[in-house]
Every structure is written in C-alpha cells, then in structure tokens.
Structure 1
Amino acid sequence: MTGILAGLRIVEGSAFIAAPLGGMTLAQMGADVIRFDDIKGGLDSDRWPVTKDGKSIYWAGLNKGKRSIAVDLRSPKGRELLTALITAPGEGAGIFTTNMPARGWLSYEALSKKRADLIALNILGDRHGTANVDYTVNAITGFPMVTGAVGHSGPVNAVAPPWDLATAYAGAMALLAAERHRRLTGQGQRIVLPLQDMALAATSALGYLGEAVVNQVDRPRFGNEIFGTFGRDFRTKDGRHVMICIFSDRHVDALAAAGGFKEAFASIEQKTGQDLKTDAGRWNARAELIAVIEPWVAAHTTDEVSAALKTAGALWAPYKTFRELSTDKDAVIDNPMFTFIDQPGIGAYPVAASPLQFGAAPREAPKPAPVLGQHTDEILSGILGLPGHEIARLHDEKVVGGPNK
C-alpha cells in the first residue's frame, strides 16, 4: 500500500453511510481498510441507487479501495477468525470501526482482552444506543421546519444525508487522533460517536440553538434565500437557473459590474438606508436587490449571464443535474481528482479520489470497490497466517466465502 496512511490497518464492520464512508476516507489516503460482511452480503449490499440489474452503485461508491472478507457471522469459528483479524499484532493494526451493535464478541471489553491497546470506534444512533438514521436524527434538529418554500406547512426532509456525512469524517478523524494517542502513550481506547450528537453539535455550532434561546424565536422559512445576507436562485431567459450570492464588499462591486447595477445599488442604499457592504444591509434590502437583479437575469441566456458574472468575478454558480455534472469538463472530466474506473458488475464511470492534497505524498488514484469476499483468502493467509488446506476447509464448511468459491 502507498499513500500518506500507508502502514495503517483498519478492520470495518459496517452498513449504510457513516461508518463505511469513514473507512473509505481512510482507504483513499492509503490505509488498508478491510471490510467484513456475512457470506450472504451486508445489510446495504443492494441499496439504491442500483443498476438495471440491481447492482448497488451506492455500495460501490462507499467502499472504494477496501479489501473484503466474507465470513459466516453466526458461526463461532467465523467470529473467532474476525476476532483474530481485528486484534492481529502489528504497529499500525488493532483498529476497529463499526456501527453494528458492539456487544458480545464485538464488544470493546471482549476484543481488548485479545489486544490491550485496541482502538475501537463505535458509531451509535444516539447516546442511549437507540437505533437512528440520518432522517430520524434530522427530524429533531429543527432543519426540516425551516427548509422549503415560504408558506409551506410541515417538514421538508433533506435529500443529502448531512449528519451521516459529518459523522463519517468525524469518525475518521477520531481514529487518527486515537492512533496518535496510542503511539505516544501505548494506550488503546473505545471511542463512542452518536450520530444524533454529531447533528446536535453541528446545530449548536451554527448558532441555531443560540438564536432560538437568546432571541426566543423559531426561524421562519425563507425558501431559497440565504438567511442573513444575500443569495438566491434566478431564472434565465432560456429557462435555466443560476445561484447568485453576495458575501463580501468585493462581491457587491463585482455583481454591480456584471449587470451594470452600480447606480441601482446606490439608489437602493439611499432609499432604504441600508449599507449593501454589510450582511445585515443586504438581508434587509433583499427585496429591492431581487427587483434589480431578477429582470436582468431573465432578459439574458444562461451563457450570457454566466459570461458576465464570470468576467466580473461575481460569486455565482449554474444549477446542474447529476447527469449534467457527470459530463462537466471542469468539475469532473478534467478534474485530476476523478478517474474513470471499471467497477465489476456495474461498468465504467467517473470516481473521485480523496479531495485532500498532501504536499508530502501524491494523491492516490481511486480503486474499485471489492466484490464480496474478494480478498478472503489473501487476508486469511497474509494476516492470520492460515495454510492453504485450512483455508480450503473453511470454504468447504462455509465458514468463509469468496467470489470464486
């Protein structure tokens, strides 16, 4: 293995998003991440989106670059093998991450008896151990009650799973922090990361709880307008949409130059008494700003609007569908982060490597996700040291599985 995390080995027992994405994040930086699944497949092995043949593009995306071992998780011998794998010796080994119930044979107490310096990350639904997913966690954060069109009644769920994503990256960071602590002290530890607490911590950090308590308000819906400054979508002459934002003095001047709004903006300031160089001023005068910007965008094509905004250095972006994004020259096709890979059972499509660019190590190209049990034999042999005849017997007894067995 190469990459900035070469020499680190993490064993992962996971499903859905937070845990596998955290492992994939580390794998893309060079860690040897070994995912174990039941020989019949994991809970999310067929989760959508899928191909027309039912192959999970979702699963492939979250497990790029990992190794796969397939084991009968109900078998005592299978559990014994995985225990040995999790607690195998080695300076960079002895690291385990899971969002499965970490009890019984998978508990930190049981595993640390085999390796005292074990690091184990347990991602929970909430701090009580109750099952939760991004959508149930999001429900209590308040965000669904401020998302959606002005005047809409009832919650609007998020399409992207923000708390799973945040938990994945926080979990990866936690494992690296614990590994550093172990190198300095020799001590292992159990790390608990509740998905709900991740969401609540972020909600608090963004000031939403503070606003509710200090100002004694429930924020209303503002549709696609960015609260507290200026930003919203505008429709072009040819029926497309662009997002235009103002976050600084420079953005005010750039937008004014793009659309010839200098006099109009000055008139808004004089009429409203608001300073457009401040967030508050832009927010309070947003209706007047929209009245100036909207007809200009509507009178021009997307290409014309884009050229003017880009030339002026304004803060903007065109809205794209996923299909449009997949063929975007700058974002995907010519972006060195992406590589077209041929994922077994799915086909060729652009896949992102790690977005991190380290000066001391080149970025690792993305690798396909493994086929279930693809690396069973090499893991049993290379890490656990089992001879060929013993591995063959485990296959015959259906304790382990592999793609060609």
Structure 2
Amino acid sequence: MTALDGLRVIECASFVAAPSACLMLGQLGADVIRVDPIGGAADYRRWPVAPGGTSLYWTALNRGKRSVAVNMRADEGRELVTALIADAGVFVDNVVGRPWLSYENLAARRADLIHLHLQGRADGSPAVDYTVNAEVGVPTITGGESEAAPVNHVLPAWDLVTGMTVTTGVLAALYERERTGEGAYLELALADVALAGVANLGWLGEAQFRGTERPKHGNHVYGSFGIDFETSDGQRVMVVALTEHQWAALRKVTGTQEVFSALETALNVDLNLEADRYRIRETIAAILRPWFADRSLAEVSRDLDSARVLWGRYRGMPEVAADPAPVLSTVDQPGIGEVPSARSPLRWNGKYGETTTAASLGDHTDEVFSEVLGLSGGELGRLHDSGILG
C-alpha cells in the first residue's frame, strides 16, 4: 500500500503498543525508521523466540521498518537522533527520563513537528497491559462461575487497541498540519485507553447501577446466547445467536423449534429477545448439547453453514499457523527461516497489501544517516569507531 508514501516516521519505542502502531503506518506506505540503542532495547529478545534464540515477537512487530542503532547516552548520538526526528517531522516514542526527547526540545528544531508520546499512565508512572487490565476490573468478571480468583487473559488487548489509537492520533495530526501548517504534541496513556474502553462498553455504568460485580459465567456470551459445544469426535465449536434471525436459524437446524416454543410458554419468556435467551442460557445449552454430541465436526460444520448459523471452531495455534488465509503469508526471516507473517488486514480496493521481513538490528544505520543527514563514508566510519553508531 502506498497511501502514506513520502511520509517518514521516527520510532523510538519498545514492547507492543507503539511498535504495532508504527507497523501499521509502515504497512500503509510510510518510511518508518526505528531507532534502538546499540545492542537493542528491552524488547529485543522478548519471547516468543525461535529455536536459535531470535525473537519472533520483535521481528514480527518490526517488519518493513528500517533499523538504526545509536548510542543515545552520548551527546553526539543524541544530536544525530534529534536531527533525524527534525527531518522526518513525525516522532512516536514511549521513552521516559530523556529530556532531550521532550517536545519542547524537538519542536525548537522543527516547529511543525508531530510528536506522539505514549505513557503507562497519564501522570507518567509506569503501567503495562497486564497491570491496567487488572485495574479496570476485567479479570474479576472473567472465568468460570466457580472461580473466585481473578482470571487474566493472555492477549495484550489494551496494547493493541492503544497501538491503533496511536495510529489514529498520528493521522489526525497529519490532517491538521496539512490544513493549518501547525504541529502537535499528543500524549496517550495505556491506562486511559483501558478505562475509556470499559466505559464505552457500558461496563462502568452497569457496575454503578448494580452496585455489585457482574457474575462470572465461563464461556457464555454476556447478555445474549452463546456457548461452546463438543462434537462427537471431541472437537469444540462456539455458537452465538445475537439476533432474532440467528436464533431462528439455530433452532431450525437443530430441530428444536417446538421444544423452545413449549419452553417459552412454560417459563413465560420470549426467546426472540436477547435478554431472555441469556437468562435461561443454561437450559438452552442443555437442550442443544445432544444435537452437537451426536454429530462429527464435519457434519456440524456442514449443517451450521447451510443454515447460516453464527459459529466458529476452536483451533490450536499450530493449526492456525498452517492456515492459508489470505491475510497471512510466509516470509524467510533472516536468523529464523520461514515463518508466518501477516499482511495489513485493511483491504485497499479489495486487495491485501504485501508483507515483508524485519531488518536485523542496525541494518540500515549507515544507509539512513547517509541518505537523510548526508553523512559521508568517512564520517560514518569515525562514528562507528567511536561507538556512537552500532
């Protein structure tokens, strides 16, 4: 994709949120230059890793970016990075304790700079997905009914949502600069994204009016009908009926229309209503369970698809990795070998973009400083010899 062709972004960040944002900007055509300390930042060797020890995490999140390695503890290294940022005009970071990377300092070099600074909390104190998720109450409503302890989930969802918010912020600031010629300083806290998320879903309002915690309910879909079922060959499927049409399709394919009609009369409920389906979810699941238990996954798949039931099959990660889905591809990643890779999920005019590999740490150091700042081979050699460039 080339929508952002001509845009250059300097990234000085680690872990998930900001790198995922800049990955998306790169997939849209921006020239993203990731600046790391010599030897790599804190996330350079983060798990999961390939058998040889190379980080699958780091290489996946940094695909398509140019990589430079700089000694940012030295004044000369700081000046080089500052010059890169001033040239690009767009800077994304999540660093702390580096006054030389402050907006005030950088904007003095380029007045129309767009600087998005990502934080853990709005007061500048640290936080990560796993801590903010605990603090916004999600683990206390997650898990089975009999589980008293909070249950964390493995997906760093708030990091990913924050990353897309970073992308949105950068694009909005670019639009404003195009109209007004003015730069912008944007701050975004991961904790704020999480709090806004649960508030926007109505969960905080529910908690206020309930006055008590929402009960845990395992794999049931809250406020509607949805639950997992086991097939005769030991596979599991997730079946959901959010709408009246989906509920009718599920009843029809399972041959349970009369049973549920009688149940509505007996219990004085209207199962066309999501709320009523949720209230007697266990009864509904018990009625449907034998239909799934009597059929293989292949039979269930055929019948549910034919009836246009909303459902999905539980799969393990190895099976997903082998899936030839159009959004996935395989790249030959240096230091790892062939590995699954994702294209941008945005289909531009009906087509997915291409994917690529990640550079090795510092691969583009000389290229970038020569191209962007015009440093000569002799100057680059001196900077390498003095430990300024990696």
Q: With structure 1 as the length reference, what TM-score do the two structures score?
A: 0.94
CA contact (8 A) 2:347 2:353 kept: no
Q: Which residue of 2 aligns with 1:397?
A: 386
Contact kept, 8 Å, 1:272 with 1:285, in 2: the verdict is: no
- The percent of aligned pairs where both chains have the same amino acid is 44
Q: Which SS does the other structure have where 1:202 is aligned? A: helix
Q: Residues of 2 paired with 1:370 and 1:229: CA distance?
A: 46
Q: Which moved more, 1:104-113 or 1:212-221?
A: 212-221
**What secondary structure does 1:383 align onto?**
helix
Cα distance in 2 for partners of 1:165, 1:240 equals 30
Distance 2:40 2:279 in 1: 55
Q: Which residue of 2 aligns with 1:378?
A: 367
**Residue of structure 1 in register with 2:144 after alignment:** 149
The aligned counterpart of 2:309 is 314
Instruction: Find the residue that maps to 1:400 and give its secondary structure.
Output: coil
Letter in 1 for 2:354: A
The Cα offsets for residues 48-90 of structure 1, whole Å up to 9 and x where unpaired, read as 00012211001111111100011111111111100000001xx
The CA deviation at 1:102 is 6.3
Query: Which residue number corresponds to residue 47 of structure 1?
Result: 46
SS of residue in 1 equivalent to 2:73: coil
Q: For 1:282 and 1:265, locate their aligned partners in 2 and report how far apart those are by CA, in whole Å.
A: 11
Aligned to 1:299: 294
Task: Deviation per CA, 1:20-51: give whole Å up to 9, x if none.
Answer: 00110111111111000011111101000001
The residue type paired with residue 151 of structure 1 is S
Letter in 1 for 2:347: Q
> Using the alignment, how far apart are the partners of 2:97 and 2:171 within structure 1?
20
Structure 1: distance between partners of 2:182 and 2:33:
23
Aligned partners of 1:353 and 1:364 also within 8 Å: yes
Which amino acid in structure 2 is aligned with residue 304 of structure 1? E
Cα separation, 2, equivalents of 1:254 and 1:61: 40
- The residue aligned with 2:21 is 22
Residues of 2 paired with 1:355 and 1:394: CA distance? 40
How many residues are paired up?
A: 390
The answer for the alignment partner of 2:252 in structure 1 is 257
2:330 equivalent to 1:340: yes
Q: Pick the aligned partner of 1:112 from 70, 94, 107.
A: 107
Contact 1:46–1:59 (CA<8 Å) still a contact in 2?
Answer: yes
User: Are the structure 2 counterparts of residues 340 and 200 from structure 1 closer, same or farther at C-alpha, using a change threshold of 3 Å?
Assistant: same
The match for 2:216 among 207, 216, 221 is 221
List runs of 5+ in structure 2 lacking aligned partners.
none
When the two chains are superposed, the root-mean-square deviation of aligned CA atoms in Å is 1.3
Q: Confirm or deny: 8 A CA contact 1:3 1:363 kept in the other structure.
A: no
Aligned 8 A contact 2:331 2:357 in 1 = yes
The answer (yes or no) to whether the contact 2:142–2:151 under 8 Å persists in 1 is yes
- AA aligned opposite 1:340: T
